Structure 1
Amino acid sequence: MQSGPLGRAIVLACALIAPPTWAETAAVDEAYFETHVRPLLIEHCYECHSQSAGESMGDLHLDTAAAMASGGVSGPVVIPGNAAESLLIKAMLYADADLQMPPEGKLADEQIERLRTWIDGGAPDPRDEDMSEAQQMASKPLDRDPSTHWAFVPPQRLSGDDFDSLPDVLPSNADAADADPIDEIARGQAAVKHLSPAPAVNRATLHRRWSDDLHGLPVSSAQIASFESDSRPDAETRRIDRMLADPRFGERFTRHWLDVARYADTIGYAVGGKDRNLKYAYRYRDWLISAFCEDMPYDEMIRHQLAGDQTAEPGSMDADAMGFLTVGRQFLRHDDTIDDRIDVVTRGLLGLTVSCARCHDHKFDPIPTIDYYSLYNVLENSVPPADLETAASPLMLVDRPKVRDFRVFVRGDRSRQGEIAPRRYLTAFRKPETAQFKSGSGRLELAEAIVDPANPLTARVMVNRIWEHLLGHPLVDSPSDFGYRTPAPPLQSVLDELAADFASDWSIKRLVRRILHTRIYHQAATPSELARVSDPENALWTHARRSRLDFESMRDGLLMGCGYLDNRIGGPAVEITQPDLVPRRTLYARIDRQNLPGLFRTFDFASPDMHSPGRYYTTVPQQPLFLLNHPQISHAAQLAVELARQDAAGDPDDAAVIESLFRQVLGREPPPAELADAVRFVSSPPADNPNAIDPRSTWQYGTAMWADDQVTQFTPLKVFKDDRWQFEETFPSPGPMSYASLSRDGGHPAHGDAGIIVRRWTSPANGKLTLNGAVTRPSDQDDGIIATVQVNGQTEWQASIASGTQRYNARRNDVQQGDVVDFIVHSGEGLSFDSFQWRGKLLLQSPTEMLQFSSTDGFSGPFAPERAVSLDRFEQLAQVLFLSNEFFFVD
């Protein structure tokens, strides 16, 4: 195959080609340091290692970036990008008896993990000891007039004066009168550089864009044919309005907003056996679908999300909107949970990094520390209802019966109390005479301040997000940071025109409709040679940006292409990482904040741990490997061929089935040359795949004895009940095996060396083996567990885990078919609270292929062992179409 999707898929199988796109590629930045690292250092380290305290034990200061880089008598304590070798982490882990910090006790695993994440992310540190006090005072952002920054001035509509200085670039015909003013601005600024806009795309491409942008689904060939044949002058408007009225628009824009709201179905890390599930999180997601479908004004959406307990009508779903605050991570320290809520409100709605002012005045923006604690007091006085069962929503918060105002925590230290922080809006964006919030916690008054027409940020931030969703790149490159360091975008007047117009009625659908009708949206994705040179970043929007499907659109397109998509709206989350396809849209997938499945991470799903400004896209081998090898793709290919054969019923010609496949997957007919290639392909005999296996057959679950550091007397567990393997029908067993059990993502050992629990994997082929995974003991009670990984009896990794998570990454060369890997858990002296979670991956590079195995995906109860059947030629063709660039890219 030299051309068409068959040939192009071969290229994709080696590496999915991603176009340049906006990204905040660093998950760790200065804001992360200010939010998660500086407070931890202040609380646990500064007392003994800071200039302010006059202490430098070990000649080590930790209160400046330079001092931390130079280190103390033992050398540098931080190696940016390498947490494993950094002395700071080694000291925090208490692994060395002579190097244990802080001395008063080991930090929680969650805190150590934050330090590890910061260091592995490059250890960004904005602290600077080289600036003199005079320089620091002169450069204080609080001394700057906020009105001197473009984003802190209310946006204005375009006027005639905005066009006077622009070149006359519009054609003098009737079409010019229909141009949107923002098109005129964009064309005029491009003309200054002698650039012209790209031509408009054809109707088929336009409809594909609409379908992905508005529904997140591929357009059918019948829909394209209908649009191409519609000669009415308002054909575009009719089609757009129809798509905006479809509930799938609500689903698509809900998924976008869930990234902003850091949605997940679990609370994150928990101790003491606490249930990690957010049982009713899906109700917030379903409220969003309804709100977007009904075109609820955005200002009203904000009021409900911050104060639904006060704005919801009896019997409505609007109290569920407060999931915006409550579906975030629930930290072990309540102050960190409040910080997360301040962050999602300020970055998500206002584009301001207010959490950076937790320990000191914001270093870059006009946000003093007292502003942070003003919002802290608003949210700290918002608590769950006393009786959730009778509350309007299990997601809501209510005002504390007796409001209390906290003082500023000096340097973020709760033990050092400063002045009382009145509950009020941000200093730089309110008039000096504005009264503090008086109604309860002040949440509703905070919402009113955010949606006030005079607020310069709210409309701009939302318009910028919607522009990014529709055109693939935001006008402002940092969608959640509009502060002083963010320069005005080249097309600021376009952003301001849309923002001022949006704030007139807050209609998201009207804003979307307007953008879809612009010439900017209609442009082709091919730049001119001059544009490549003089505007390589396409800052002037002279052409469209070619975009790749995000994870949700990719998976939903797969379901639609094989006729398996379930279009039901709403409901509880479902698990989508099983070997077989699950028909629900990806929007309804269960999101485990603590253990986000590898499938999500492989395809660049937004981290649910914190507010996400936007998606970024990577090109990694795991993406084509999933599409080539995962049972879900085989299942989709088989279903697609079944559907194509039904469509071609009565026609014995192979070409009829092939043409149906093209229509289903790519939304078009194959041209003659491509059809001929495909006919030759399906006519050739399929090659036998001797290595095809059922991944379930590689796993066993049992108990064993531990003697001389070896697993002996391995005995498979006998009973599969309640989604777990256990020793006998009664659970726990009344005998010595007690709680011995293994489930999809964890288990429990029996007691001592006679009751170890073993998850055993047997290699199906010769090759090189790589192991990685994580073991978690949620409880911090009793004496912990011992986790061990052995390959053919040789210990590759072992850890004693009192509480929290330990990760491993081990490489083993030259394993043979039949070799075993044992994942072993011992109890300590006691057996209480020894439930554990274990998720492991195994990557086997055989001489002919790369095979990936997962302890969770491969888990099952009893099944009839059978060899996995290779796909026939038609099914292989369907898989190739799903692998093609044409399927993965919108244009």
Structure 2
Amino acid sequence: MNSCAICSYALDRIGVVLATLMTLVCCQALDGHAADAIPDNQLTFFESKVRPLLNDHCYECHSREFDEASGGLRLDTAEAIAKGGLGGTALVAGHPDQSLIMEVVSYESEMQMPPDGKLDDEMIAILRQWIEMGAPDPRHESQESQEEMASPLERDPQTHWAFIPPQAAHAAKQLADDSRDIVDDLASEVSVAEGVSINERADDSTLIRRLYFDLSGLPPTAEDVQDYCESTRPDKFTRLVDQLLAAPEFGERFGRHWLDVARYADTIGYATAGKERRYPGSHRYRDWVIRAIGQDMPYDEMVRHQLTGDRTDPNNEQGNLDAMGFLTLGRKFLNGLDRTDDQIDVITRGLLGMTVTCARCHDHKFDPIPTTDYYALFGVLQSSEQPESGPSPLMMVDREKTGDRPVFLRGQLGNRGPIAPRQFLTALRKPDEPRFHDGSGRKELADRITRADNPLFARVMVNRVWTHLIGRPLVDSPSDFGFRTQQPKVPQVLDDLATDFARDFSIKRLVRRIVSMRVYQQSSSVTSDNLAKDPNNECLSRANRRRRDLESLRDSMLCVSDSLDRQLGGEPVEISLPSPVARRTVYALIDRQNLPSLFRTFDFPDPNAHSPGRYFTTVPQQGLFLLNSPQVAELAKRTANRVRASVVGGNESNLDKLAVSMFQQVLGRTPNESEQSSAVNFLQQEPRPLENDIDPQFLWTYGTARLARADGQSLVSEFRPFGVFKGDRWQPQDEFPVDGDLGFSFVANENGHSPRDPTLATVRRFTAPDDGNLRIAGQMGHRAEEGDGVAITILIGGKEYHHSVEKSSNRPFGPYVARIKKGETVDVLAACGKTDSFDSFFFRGNLRLTRDDKTTIETNSVKHFSGSLDPPSTEPLDRLSQLAQVLIISNEFAFVD
């Protein structure tokens, strides 16, 4: 072992020790208020996923409740897990592969837990994800003792600000000369009291850019900016707001915001590889949302359609039945009860800001939400179903037999408690309020949610709209208005807006009011004194600097390159291919199972669950994508071509004009003298030659081959690439299936189907570009219960490393390590058994080729799957195209202020 290897090994071990110590120290430091320090999304994940899992499968042998600590280990508090048992610490936060709990539940050692059967893959994945995020855990000894003394159910909801109906604000006097709204007065009053100075109004060029970003997600042109700044009309701001609100782009912009709330996606998610994963007609819900917001449908009406479209538009004559995708487009879980849980979550967190799903297994730990509240809503949704046919594939209707459901004690299906009547939530209803009796109760639930005296309905939506326009919420946990949530710094702002919004529930009127405020129009500059006194801008004394989200950033690149297709609606499109797709990002295919890295890199929310709000990070991967993406390079070329065409006579020798035109095209302004001089100097230089870099997508091919076995080895010959890429997969020809031996054979990013002839196999082939050492590992399997399975074989350089018949399986393979030469292949082959019925299979593999010069190529069979590709360019971008790319990746382009 050389010195570098010794250092690396030592650091790894120190990291494990430090991680363990940190886990112990953190657990010892936390007290009864520890849950407040856990981010809302992590706490929700623990309460909805991890606690029920531990409750169902571990507590019987490892908890104080059962007076059991098998092996000296308890798993019912963070301290007990950190202390561990006879086998040592149960987990190392952030390191699942070094955690004993993962070892035993994965059945990778002699100690296998639970002893009565291995957890399914989804449960193991939940534990892994929990540990990877640092094992957040609110269950602490001191906290549990406090909870035993005083139950949250004994709290009077009227003692918490969010459960008290909002009241309109009344200003005593005008505190600022430039106030345009009572909210400005309220903000000024707090700023003065805190000693925070109020910013001046932003300049016109900043305001038009801000308005375009907020209301359309697109940048203004240089002509738009110039016309606005030169206009002397006193009502020019109001006119611009009205113009942008009336444009179809507003519906697309704010529609995407609502799709985050509704956890919209086009696929069902995990566990059905080899079968159709697309939701039929999913785009109809997305298009309905965009249309409803564009037409300024009242928000309460929007919600009623989304919950009860089968009542409001039963024949889909107005298209409002498609609105029920709000309920039906969630992730499709293996357990139907989890799907209902997901629907309860999107209703209660999305519309009411209440974490009701925390009461699935036990009364809520912080809020007055008993378990019976959860099962009251559970009964409503279990009394509803999605029919096999109807006017909309997204609809939901009442079952023939509706009724109340029992409480499942500790969340266990077979452990039934008292019947939970279908009714509204305890904290929001009156004691004598009637129960739901009209069919499933969904209509009554929708009416009760949208009722004028519901203190949460308007507040929650106003807080969301405020966040999109101001850049920071008034209530920091937008989907949790429970007892742990602090009142806003200026509570009257939220209450006055909510009271006003509830008059007609017009989203456009609410937006118009907010952007007309001085609070919205302020400059984003900040002094050191203000930053010290009000670091989070709670006094609303300045605008918040904001970065473009994924949708606005990508759409803006399409816009400045003259590539944007402004068509409204339609089927989803794949936007992560090497070549740019012209559709707006709101129309992108959202694949829950395989969300492309482009989405994750730019902070797109997890579509598996309701998203309270987006997190904005600044990480190197974002800059690397903009520097290296073939899409960005192509858009830079198109931008350069447009600039060339705009220069009089196409005279490329006039570098000053080219530089000025490029700044106007990309940034919507004229460069200053220094910028123009630097740009001209840049254009005068010759571009450097490209380094020979390999795109892993070009190393994969897909097709069929002849397969034989001799002397215990598999032999492959007659490889024939598939001729057609259609939809999301490679297949033999345009018509599908194919008559003859090829039958249903195809290969998609993670699944495929074998040919009819058992001597033929579908092939997923990786060709080595250089000599080196190769490592491959991943997962494979066959999900169908029917059929006789699929024979899967892995050959490296013609030598067999794996052969198995997969039947109703889902298992890891490898790692396999082999020496490979340039031009040799890694073949993953799938052949049928005696029949080709139900022979869909899935495969996910990670390959790493370490060249002899120690450089590596890493590829993933799912991530780097692609359709037809143009040969990679060997020519660098010309200097004008490079200037376009430089400006596109600049902070000025990526940030609003």
TM-score scaled by length of structure 2:
0.87
Counterpart position of 2:383: 381
* Structure 1 position 53, deviation (Å): 3.9
* Structure 1 position 418, deviation (Å): 1.1
Distance in 2, matches of 1:365 and 1:287, equals: 34
Amino acid at match of 1:213: D
Whether 1:39 aligns to 2:48 is no
Q: How does 1:353-364 map to 2 (within 5 A)?
A: 353-364=355-366
Q: How does 1:810-889 map to 2 (within 5 A)?
A: 818=822, 822=826, 824-825=828-829, 833-838=838-843, 855=861, 859=865, 867-889=873-895
Whether 1:152 aligns to 2:154 is no
Cα distance change, pair 576–43 in 1 and its aligned pair in 2 (3 A): same
* Structure 1 position 374, deviation (Å): 0.5
Whether 1:228 aligns to 2:239 is no
Q: How does 1:162-561 map to 2 (within 5 A)?
A: 163=172, 169-171=175-177, 175=178, 179-271=180-272, 273-312=274-313, 315-385=317-387, 388=389, 391-561=390-560
Whether 1:629 aligns to 2:628 is yes
Distance in 2, matches of 1:883 and 1:374, equals: 51
Counterpart position of 1:618: 617
Distance in 1, matches of 2:802 and 2:624, equals: 27
* Structure 1 position 340, deviation (Å): 0.3
Q: How does 1:97-108 map to 2 (within 5 A)?
A: 98-108=110-120
Cα distance change, pair 125–159 in 1 and its aligned pair in 2 (3 A): same
Cα distance change, pair 359–611 in 1 and its aligned pair in 2 (3 A): same
Whether 1:742 aligns to 2:747 is yes
SS at match of 1:29: helix
Q: Which has the higher contact order (CA 8 A, sep 6+)?
A: 1
Cα distance change, pair 132–313 in 1 and its aligned pair in 2 (3 A): closer
Cα distance change, pair 383–696 in 1 and its aligned pair in 2 (3 A): closer
Cα distance change, pair 345–598 in 1 and its aligned pair in 2 (3 A): same
Distance in 2, matches of 1:225 and 1:824, equals: 59
Cα distance change, pair 411–547 in 1 and its aligned pair in 2 (3 A): same
8 Å Cα contact 2:282/2:329 also seen in 1: yes
Q: How does 1:671-820 map to 2 (within 5 A)?
A: 671-691=672-692, 697-701=698-702, 703=705, 713=716, 715-721=718-724, 723=726, 741-748=746-753, 758-762=763-767, 764=769, 777-779=782-784, 818=822
Q: How does 1:58-69 map to 2 (within 5 A)?
A: 58-69=71-82
Instruction: Decide which moves more: 344-353 or 490-499.
Output: 490-499
Counterpart position of 1:658: 659
8 Å Cα contact 2:643/2:662 also seen in 1: yes
SS at match of 1:761: strand
* Structure 1 position 809, deviation (Å): 11
Distance in 2, matches of 1:811 and 1:364, equals: 50
Instruction: Decide which moves more: 774-783 or 548-557.
Output: 774-783
Instruction: Decide which moves more: 530-539 or 506-515.
Output: 530-539
Counterpart position of 1:12: none
SS at match of 1:484: coil
Distance in 2, matches of 1:453 and 1:732, equals: 56
Instruction: Decide which moves more: 522-531 or 304-313.
Output: 304-313
8 Å Cα contact 2:273/2:751 also seen in 1: no
* Structure 1 position 491, deviation (Å): 1.4
8 Å Cα contact 2:755/2:832 also seen in 1: no
Cα distance change, pair 190–728 in 1 and its aligned pair in 2 (3 A): closer
8 Å Cα contact 1:768/1:844 also seen in 2: yes
SS at match of 1:717: strand
8 Å Cα contact 1:840/1:854 also seen in 2: yes
8 Å Cα contact 1:775/1:839 also seen in 2: yes
* Structure 1 position 153, deviation (Å): 0.7
* Structure 1 position 205, deviation (Å): 0.7
Counterpart position of 1:112: 124
Distance in 1, matches of 2:868 and 2:313, equals: 49
Distance in 2, matches of 1:518 and 1:556, equals: 27
Counterpart position of 2:93: 80
Cα distance change, pair 199–776 in 1 and its aligned pair in 2 (3 A): farther
* Structure 1 position 124, deviation (Å): 2.3
Amino acid at match of 1:882: I
* Structure 1 position 66, deviation (Å): 3.5
8 Å Cα contact 2:724/2:732 also seen in 1: no
Cα distance change, pair 88–856 in 1 and its aligned pair in 2 (3 A): closer
SS at match of 2:701: strand
Amino acid at match of 1:352: M
Instruction: Decide which moves more: 218-227 or 667-676.
Output: 667-676
Distance in 1, matches of 2:523 and 2:846, equals: 42
Whether 1:136 aligns to 2:136 is no
SS at match of 2:723: strand
Distance in 1, matches of 2:578 and 2:720, equals: 23
Q: Which runs of 5+ in 2 are unaligned?
A: 1-35
* Structure 1 position 115, deviation (Å): 1.9
- For 1:463-512, what per-residue CA distance to the aligned partner results, in whole angstroms no more than 9, with x for missing partners? 11111100111011110011000111111111111111111111111111
8 Å Cα contact 1:695/1:853 also seen in 2: yes
Distance in 2, matches of 1:844 and 1:886, equals: 39
Instruction: Decide which moves more: 851-860 or 264-273.
Output: 851-860
* Structure 1 position 250, deviation (Å): 0.5
Cα distance change, pair 732–500 in 1 and its aligned pair in 2 (3 A): closer
Distance in 2, matches of 1:189 and 1:798, equals: 71
Instruction: Decide which moves more: 667-676 or 635-644.
Output: 667-676
* Structure 1 position 688, deviation (Å): 1.8
8 Å Cα contact 1:359/1:410 also seen in 2: yes
SS at match of 2:649: coil
Distance in 1, matches of 2:186 and 2:397, equals: 47
* Structure 1 position 639, deviation (Å): 1.4
Counterpart position of 1:594: 593
* Structure 1 position 349, deviation (Å): 0.6
8 Å Cα contact 1:552/1:586 also seen in 2: yes
Cα distance change, pair 644–413 in 1 and its aligned pair in 2 (3 A): same
Corresponding pairs, count: 853
* Structure 1 position 786, deviation (Å): 8.3
Distance in 1, matches of 2:501 and 2:891, equals: 36
Cα distance change, pair 553–418 in 1 and its aligned pair in 2 (3 A): same
TM-score scaled by length of structure 1:
0.87
Cα distance change, pair 844–559 in 1 and its aligned pair in 2 (3 A): farther
Distance in 2, matches of 1:754 and 1:601, equals: 41
8 Å Cα contact 1:349/1:458 also seen in 2: yes
Amino acid at match of 1:114: I
Instruction: Decide which moves more: 327-336 or 192-201.
Output: 192-201
SS at match of 1:716: strand
SS at match of 1:419: strand
Cα distance change, pair 218–767 in 1 and its aligned pair in 2 (3 A): farther
Instruction: Decide which moves more: 609-618 or 681-690.
Output: 681-690
Distance in 1, matches of 2:418 and 2:716, equals: 67
Distance in 2, matches of 1:24 and 1:66, equals: 16
* Structure 1 position 57, deviation (Å): 3.9
8 Å Cα contact 2:383/2:402 also seen in 1: yes
- For 1:543-601, what per-residue CA distance to the aligned partner results, in whole angstroms no more than 9, with x for missing partners? 11111110011110111011010001111111111111110000000001111111111
Cα distance change, pair 41–308 in 1 and its aligned pair in 2 (3 A): same
- For 1:249-272, what per-residue CA distance to the aligned partner results, in whole angstroms no more than 9, with x for missing partners? 000001001110000001112348
8 Å Cα contact 2:274/2:841 also seen in 1: no
